[in-house]
Chain A
Amino acid sequence: MPRHPGLPLPVALAALLLTGAVAGAEPIAPADRRSGFDQMSAEIQTMQRDDDANPGMLAVVDGAELWTKPPSSSRPACAGCHGEASSSMRGVAARYPAWDARTARPIDLQGRINACRRTHQGADPLAYESPDLLALTAFVATQSRGQRIAPPEDARLAPARAEGRALFEARMGQLGLSCAICHDENWGRRLGAAAIPQGQPTGYPLYRLEWQGMGSLQRRLRNCLTGMRAEPFGYGAPEYVALEAYLATRAAPLPVETPAVRP
């Protein structure tokens, strides 16, 4: 639970800002990790649980169609190499971001889909936040629904994870906030009217009611950066992949929820 149960957040924040205290946030212990699902209203939880009411399923069904459709007549569809996604893609989203040997960098799931398009399908990469990329990513990630997030034990990912953690704990923007000040130190309390979640990336790409549509984890991170009055990194920036790599280790062993619904 939060560190200062009695202290209103503005006071806590003011105290932090005044003393200039280093966030010093301890990551949340595995037993205390909670999905944002638990803090939603019963109505929105029902919406996520019911595949007939979950608007994220529209994107998943779109993704299933794209999976079997070749981008050009001479190249294979995703299904041409990977076959049935329900078996070949099961558990994949639970272990991303992963190491990409070709570029010798960590890569996230949507980055992997675009890399696959380029090298095996001879097609242009899909734009970030485009409906097709969100649909394909949601379709692939949904195959891991219910599986526990299990970041690979790969030493090559360690520098990215360390960079992600440093970014997570670094004060940024005009408000001088870090991700950790809200999501490690003050989760479970309120910022204005909104409940502060732990910021666990369990359900991306997800359907956010505020957006009236699907969005990726990068879009969500950009939202938070803007809220901190920091300049967001560009889509596809290595900083996001580093943050995603750290967030995956911080979220394990929560289960994958894609396509999640969030307020």
Chain B
Amino acid sequence: MARTLINLPKTAKPGEVITIKTLISHPMETGFRPGADGRILPRNIVTEFVCRFEDEEIFRAELFPASAANPYLTFTWVATASGRFSFTWRGDDGFDQTESAAITVA
């Protein structure tokens, strides 16, 4: 499991714009670099990130080989109701990781 850091406020007022920050530990190997033995290292990147709030998709990003290691993605959301976010990263070699976080809107 890759290490992730997810930051969002625990509570928000209805209509408030909140910022969600995500960071995941990933080498983002481009597939263009030679390794120590001179052979090209196979590509190993995160290709897709999706954030859902209670099964509704609220943010999606596609990533490509030029992205830096440990991709940091931040986006905003208008607080509507209390619930759970899920954060899913998918990538090469069957990489698939989902984390979740809750928010109380009142």
Q: What residues make up the interface of A, taking CB atoms closer than 8 Å to B? A: 50, 52-53, 55, 57-58, 61-62, 209, 212-213
User: How far apart sit A209 and B67, CA to CA, in the bound complex (Å)?
Assistant: 12
Q: Establish whether residues A55 and B7, one from each chain, have CB atoms under 8 Å apart when the complex forms.
A: no
User: How far apart sit A52 and B23, CA to CA, in the bound complex (Å)?
Assistant: 7
Distance in Å: Cβ of B32 to nearest Cβ of chain A? 14
Q: Pick out which of these stretches binds chain A: B35-43, B57-65, B68-76, B83-91.
A: B68-76
User: How far apart sit A11 and B27, CA to CA, in the bound complex (Å)?
Assistant: 41
- Chain B, residues 1-35, CB within 8 Å of chain A (1/0): the string is 00101010000000000000101010110000000
Q: What residues make up the interface of B, taking CB atoms closer than 8 Å to A? A: 3, 5, 7, 21, 23, 25, 27-28, 68-70, 72, 74
Given A53-B21, A55-B23, CB of A213 within 8 Å of CB of B69: yes
Q: Establish whether residues B69 and A58, one from each chain, have CB atoms under 8 Å apart when the complex forms.
A: no
Q: Write out the residue numbers on chain B whose beta carbons fall within 8 Å of the beta carbon of A55.
A: 23, 25, 69-70, 72
- Across the interface, A52 reaches (CB within 8 A) one of B7, B28, B69, namely B7
Of the A-B pairs whose beta carbons lie under 8 Å apart in the complex, a sample of 7, sorted by A's number, is A50-B21, A53-B72, A53-B74, A55-B69, A55-B72, A62-B25, A212-B70
User: How far apart sit A212 and B29, CA to CA, in the bound complex (Å)?
Assistant: 10
Given A52-B5, A52-B7, CB of A58 within 8 Å of CB of B21: no
Q: Write out the residue numbers on chain A whose beta carbons fall within 8 Å of the beta carbon of B68.
A: 209, 212
Q: Establish whether residues A58 and B25, one from each chain, have CB atoms under 8 Å apart when the complex forms.
A: yes
Q: Establish whether residues B23 and A53, one from each chain, have CB atoms under 8 Å apart when the complex forms.
A: yes
Q: Establish whether residues B69 and A57, one from each chain, have CB atoms under 8 Å apart when the complex forms.
A: no
Distance in Å: Cβ of A64 to nearest Cβ of chain B? 11
Chain B minimum-CB-distance residue to A135: B3
Q: Write out the residue numbers on chain A whose beta carbons fall within 8 Å of the beta carbon of B72.
A: 53, 55
Q: Write out the residue numbers on chain A whose beta carbons fall within 8 Å of the beta carbon of B74.
A: 53
Q: Write out the residue numbers on chain B whose beta carbons fall within 8 Å of the beta carbon of A52.
A: 5, 7, 21, 23
Distance in Å: Cβ of B35 to nearest Cβ of chain A? 14
Chain A minimum-CB-distance residue to B70: A55
The interface centre, meaning the residue of B5, B7, B28, B69 with most chain A CB atoms within 10 A of its CB, is B5
Q: Write out the residue numbers on chain B whose beta carbons fall within 8 Å of the beta carbon of A57.
A: 5, 23
Q: Write out the residue numbers on chain A whose beta carbons fall within 8 Å of the beta carbon of B3.
A: 58, 61-62
Chain B minimum-CB-distance residue to A213: B69
18 other A-B residue contacts (CB within 8 Å) besides A58-B25, A212-B28, A212-B68: A52-B21, A53-B21, A53-B23, A53-B72, A53-B74, A55-B25, A55-B69, A55-B70, A57-B5, A57-B23, A58-B3, A58-B23, A58-B70, A61-B3, A61-B5, A62-B25, A209-B68, A212-B70
